[in-house]
Amino acid sequence: MEKHEQRSRKKKSLGVSGLALVGGGIMAAALIAAFAYIQVGRSYQKVFFPKTVINGMDVSKKSVMEVKKMIALTIDDYKLTLQERGGTTEEIKGMDIGLEAVFDGKLESLLGEQKPLSWAKHLRKPQSFEIGTMIQYDQNKFDTVVNGLSCLKIDEEDKAQNASISDYVSGQGYQIKPAKDGKELNPEKLKSEISNAVMDLKPELNLDEVGAYISPKVPTNDPGLVSKVQTMNKYVNTTITYNFGDEKKVLSGDTISKWVKTDDSGQVYLDSKSVSDYVKELASTYDTAYKAKNFTTSTGQNVKITGGSYGFKINQSAEADELAELIRTGNSQVREPVYKQRGASRGAKDYGNTYVEINLTAQHIYYYKDGKLIVESDFVSGNESKGWSTPAGAYALTYKERNATLKGENYRTPVDYWMPFNGNIGLHDAKWRSTFGGSIYKTSGSHGCINLPPAVAKTIFENIGAGIPVLCYHLPGTESLTTSNGTGKKEETKGAQQPTTQAGTQPTTQAATQPATQPTTAAPTTAAPTTAAPTTAPAATTPTTVSAHPSFDQEAGPGASKSTGKNKSGPGM
């Protein structure tokens, strides 16, 4: 076989001339590209860069003249639609307000500020400009058109309404009445927002969104209003139940709501006068002090006792203060009012079943304790002929004292048992008398006190305490013509014994004829001279239950105090 020589695979070098040819081609391409870039850049000396927006208009690659034409065309057909509450609309046309373009060189300045050779980066990077005074309107025409808008003409009921507090509703209290958005516009705000929209050539303007409407001054969630309602409901949600024995008086929000007031600054307060008037009404209804009392005597006859201060008496000032504070703090409770003084029990018989009964006509006394007759006796009361008659009425025993001295202008008489009940008038033993009852009192009576046989005075003293009712009355037809010596009058003066009936139906010890009409207990014309009783009794005779009684500035009354040794003055026998 014939052998072929292997050919060499080595490349041939281009040489210097070849390299020069390639390099020249690249440079030429670069120059061409640069020339083309520069040429494109030069075009942006007259038009705006790509992705350029002026006042919301896309002016990319537009000349100043083209932009001006765009603006002019836009203005010629411009109209602004107002979106109003309630779904209504109104239009404002550019021609109606004298809208026109104004070209003051700002477009030219903006174009002149462009750097043409930087055009390439604006292919990806947009730019936006806002320039003013490209358009203008006639202010007079503008004001006329805006002032004539229908949305500015509304009825009173279309105005915004503040949130407010409802009237009181029984069982519900007070609530917040929500604020109501109205259709009333703020004229200045409206003009400003319309002007801005026109200058931006916006096609629509939502008056609600730009806040052109007048809002309620007091919104539904106003903290002050919420706090006020909470306070008012705290007041009216308070219930105070007063106990007057078996009878109850309920104070609820239906009444309290009438006392809730608001001052000039809007602060809620409780009317003090209304509270005081309510307590005054309670006192008028439930106080028994100083009021006539129907009483069934031991003889079975009924009398009406007038005069005296015994019974329940509300401390109106203190109770009004406490009641107002309970309402202000929302503290519902069952309570008794604050009393100045109290009776023994509630109901028709506030004197209870422990009391002293004094028949001034019959000159006969009874003492009942827990409904049982402890003692009864004749006595001698104030001297009628001298005008010192013992006053009728219902009183409370002020205190009791052993070994007092009755002191007057012309006498000084010691007694073993002193029990005042009406100022310086009281019950006491009268050792100087040998007879009691009958008509002694008419000419030979005391200075007003009830003179008792010593044994009777002792029995009463040992069984009585401060605050026990003393019921004095006149009962025509029960006059007695006989007297007793204190140890028994035809067995009418009795020691401690239990009657067959309770106080309300006590046993009769004197014959009497029931008068045709219920007798009254008016006191005789003139009472005895008076002095005050001491504010406290000796410790040895302090009762366990004490009613409220008047206090005095000095020790007074018959006798000398065992505890102080001070002299006392007052009527005696």
Catalytic residues: 428, 449
Distance CA 417, CA 427 (A): 8
Tokens standing for residue 61: 């690659």
Q: Residue 304: in which H helix or E strand, if any?
A: strand 302-305
> CA–CA separation, 242 vs 249, rounded Å?
5
Q: Hey, how many other C-beta atoms are within 10 angstroms of the C-beta on 460?
A: 26
Cβ atoms < 10 Å from Cβ of 410 = 5
Distance CA 142, CA 374 (A): 107
Asked if 303 contacts 518 with a C-beta cutoff of 8 angstroms, the reply is yes
CA angle, residues 241, 246, 248, in degrees to nearest 5: 20
Cβ atoms within 10 Å, residue 73:
11
Give the Cα separation of 205 and 99 in Å (integer).
Answer: 17
- DSSP for 252-272? -HHHHTTTEEE-TTS-EEE-H
3-state secondary structure of 319: helix
Among 311, 233, 246, 242, which residue's Cα sits nearest to residue 279? 242
Contact 279, 314 (CB under 8 A): yes
DSSP for 390-412 reads: PPPEEEE----EEEEEEE-SS-E
Please state, in angstroms and rounded to a whole number, the distance separating the CA atoms of residues 288 and 274.
Answer: 23
Judged by phi (left if over 0) then psi (alpha if -120 to 50, else beta), residue 25 lies in: alpha
How is residue 441 written in tokens? 């009192």
Q: Give the strand pairing for 469-473 and 355-359.
A: parallel
As beta bridge partners, residue 135 has 101
d(CA 185, CA 179): 16
Type of residue found at 540: A
Report whether 469 contacts 355 (CB < 8 A). yes
Which tokens go with 357? Answer: 């009964």
Amino acid at site 429: D
Under a CB-based contact definition with an 8 Å cutoff, are residues 553 and 533 in contact? no
34's enclosing H/E stretch is helix 15-43
Rounded Cα gap, residues 513 and 520, in angstroms: 15
